[in-house]
Amino acid sequence: MAGAILALIAMKLFFSPHPLVIGVQIGALALMVWARVVFGIRSFHAAATPTKGGLVTSGPYRYIRHPIYTAACLLGWAGALAHFSAKALLCGVVLIVCAVVRMQCEERLVAATYPEYVHYKDRTWRMIPYVY
């Protein structure tokens, strides 16, 4: 995921002067910061393994299970669509595929660690409420 975003930045396909893109990316950054603050310092680890401290179900996690991945995808896709090209779209596809794979792996591990995850999963959406 980080590689796809870094590729967009390196190819100058991430940032855009268009107000809509700027708004989406600012909103995505706000979502990411909100999720990081609610989840706490324990969210900063590279492995897709569950952390100690209990299942987080407040803040943006009340509505979606993966707000940080959602924010990363919004950031990348806003830039990719603003610079509509084969390279940009390829980066966007890589970003989404990596996010989905990581989310599925994480969900299996979290469900094994926290039995209450099954109920949490039933009442929340993975990334986009009422869609996915």
Q: Domain segments of the chain: what residues? A: 2-11+18-40+55-123
| pLDDT(21) > 90 | yes
pLDDT at residue number 54: 82
CB 119 within 8 A of CB 129: no
Task: Count Cα atoms within 13 angstroms, Cβ side, for 65.
Answer: 24
Residue 49: HSE in the Cβ half-sphere, 13 Å Cα cutoff: 5
Packing angle, helices 19-39 and 67-82, rounded to 10: 160
Rg (CA), the chain: 15
Residues of the chain with pLDDT > 70: what percent?
91
Measured CA to CA, the distance from residue 119 to residue 94 in angstroms comes to 30
One-letter amino acid of 108: R
**With bands split at pLDDT 50, 70 and 90, how would you rate the model's confidence at 45?**
low
Using pLDDT thresholds of 50, 70 and 90, give the confidence band for residue 39: confident
For residue 111, count other CB atoms closer than 10 A to its CB: 15
Distance CA 9, CA 34 (A): 23
Average pLDDT, the chain: 91
Q: Is the pLDDT of residue 53 over 90?
A: no
Asked if pLDDT for residue 50 goes beyond 80, the answer is no
Q: Which of 112, 2, 22, 125 is nearest to 66 (CA)?
A: 125
Render pLDDT for 68-102 as a digit per residue (tens, 0 to 9). 999 999 999 999 999 999 999 999 999 999 999 99
